[in-house]
Structures are given as structure tokens and as C-alpha cells.
Amino acid sequence: MAKISDSINLEPKITTYNSRYSWATIAKKAGYSIEIIAEALGHEQGNSTTNIYLNKYDMDLIDKTNSDVVGKLFTDVKNT
């Protein structure tokens, strides 16, 4: 992220934290559940014992969520 910031002379520098926070915010505004956002970010949600009994979200859904969020980001940038 620092290399991208440097290459376009962006201040303040973009960090991994900024990227993950922005991704999560865009996903939430797009209507995705906190559970799918947490799963996509690699965070555990809820009680860890309960999580043992629950299946992980299908990676196809996580991939679709990621594609939608990135697509919305570029659409928003084009419209500004």
C-alpha cells in the first residue's frame, strides 16, 4: 500500500488498515451482513464454540462480495 501511495504522491499514505476499513465500510453500505464481512476479513463472529458447529460461508459468496465492493469503489470514483 505504501508503494502505491508513493507512486501517486498520495498524502497521507494508504495503509492496510485504511484499505480493510474502507472495504468493510463499502460492503456494509452495500447491504452485506456483518457476518459475511467478518468472514471475508478473516474475523471470528460470535461465540467461538458456536462457530465450531457452523459452516464457513461459501467462498463463492465471499468472492462475489469482494467483486461487488471493488466494483462499487471504482463506480464511485468515476462518478466524483
Q: What is the pLDDT along the chain (80 residues), one digit of tens a residue?
A: 778 888 888 888 888 888 888 888 888 888 888 788 788 877 766 545 334 434 555 677 888 899 999 998 888 766 76
b (16+ CB within 10 A) / e for 39-60:
bbeeeeeeeeeeeeeeeeeeee
Instruction: Please give the pLDDT value at position 80.
Output: 60
Instruction: Please give the pLDDT value at position 55.
Output: 52
Instruction: Please give the pLDDT value at position 61.
Output: 82
- Reported pTM: 0.57
> With contact defined as beta carbons under 8 Å apart, do 69 and 30 qualify?
yes
